Amino acid sequence: MVWKELREEEIELKLFENFERYQQVTKCWRKIEGEWVIKEIAFLEQWGEEEYKTLVSCLRNTVSTGGVVFGVFIDDCLKGFASVEHDYLGCKKEYMDLSCIHASADQRGKGIGRLLFHLCADWAKKHGAKKLYISAHSSVESQAFYKAMGCREAEEYNKEHVEKEPCDCQLEFVL
């Protein structure tokens, strides 16, 4: 397993040829009347070419605007990636946005997510953030990962994230 900070020109569609974004979701967290509960919500999340094209555009933008994208490679194939945006969020401008973190379905549970999370946290701290902001998938599995990393519900919700993904859990990680 090898990681590196990706340059803008490295982020292209062929980078994701051996990456599998697949998740069979059966249960999700929802906040109902102020309490977090697990609900039976089933769906399949699997990215196709259009999602990867959008991803390439977003990740290239992250790098071009001063943020960072990390990649984890196994046998020269991308098997995990994560990004942090450069701009600060929150009324105190103390958050940096962990805009994405993904491990390929064939490599989950092998430490890729943990490595990426720590790389992003270290980068954000070095760039002056006090917290990471995470608008995270609400699946039970995704939330278990963030809890294991030490994340908690965000003290301050980012309006744009909530409007874009109203079912996401809004989290923070103190750096």
How distant is the alpha carbon of residue 59 from its chain centre? Answer: 12
Cα–Cα distance, 110 to 24 (Å, whole number): 18
How distant is the alpha carbon of residue 134 from its chain centre? Answer: 7
Contact 43, 58 (CB under 8 A): no
Dump pLDDT digits (tens) for 59-111: 999 999 999 999 999 999 999 999 999 999 999 999 999 999 999 999 999 99
**With 0-12 CB in 10 A as exposed, 13-18 as middle and 19+ as buried, what is 166?**
exposed
Dump pLDDT digits (tens) for 102-155: 999 999 999 999 999 999 999 999 999 999 999 999 999 999 999 999 999 999
What mean pLDDT comes out for the span 29-36?
94
Q: Which fold has domain 2-174?
A: Aminopeptidase (3.40.630)
**What are the sequence ranges of the domains in the chain?**
2-174
